[in-house]
């Protein structure tokens, strides 16, 4: 498997940025007639982490998602980084070409 990080151009500073999951999201519960002390940590999936870039990147993350899912799989790396997983170099090259054609230099892949 080949793993590369996915970066997008920052809407304000125009440098490449990528989301990093620093801690799992915590899901809690409220009830009308009782108190529930249960909090369950939930790790975001790659798709969910990408969609959180809305407003940060110069491109719409759902458009990026459509292109990426044709060639690879979005995953969250061991340190919480947004990554694309490829089964072959051919798939990596195809995604790199597709991203360049569709978004120019606004979406980038890096080790």
pLDDT of residue 106: 98
| Range 59-66, long-range pairs (CB < 8 A, 24+ positions) | 59/8, 59/9, 59/103, 59/106, 59/107, 61/8, 63/102, 63/103, 64/6, 64/8, 64/99, 64/103, 64/107
- Enclosing domain of residue 17: 2-110
Residue 7 confidence (pLDDT) above 90: yes
The count of structural domains within the chain is 1
Mean pLDDT of the chain: 95
How large is the average pLDDT for residues 77-100? Answer: 97
pLDDT of residue 107: 98
Encode pLDDT of 26-80 as tens digits. Answer: 889 899 999 888 888 888 999 999 999 999 999 999 999 999 999 999 999 999 9
């Amino acid at each position: 498997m080949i793993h590369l990080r996915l970066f997008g151009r920052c809407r304000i500073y125009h440098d490449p940025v990528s989301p990093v999951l620093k801690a799992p999201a915590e899901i809690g519960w409220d009830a009308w007639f009782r108190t529930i002390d249960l909090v369950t940590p939930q790790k975001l999936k790659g798709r969910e982490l990408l969609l959180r870039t809305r407003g940060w990147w110069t491109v719409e993350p759902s458009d990026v998602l459509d292109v990426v899912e044709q060639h690879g799989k979005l995953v969250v790396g061991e340190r919480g980084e947004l990554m694309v997983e490829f089964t072959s170099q051919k798939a990596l090259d195809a995604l790199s070409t597709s991203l360049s054609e569709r978004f120019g230099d606004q979406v980038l892949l890096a080790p």
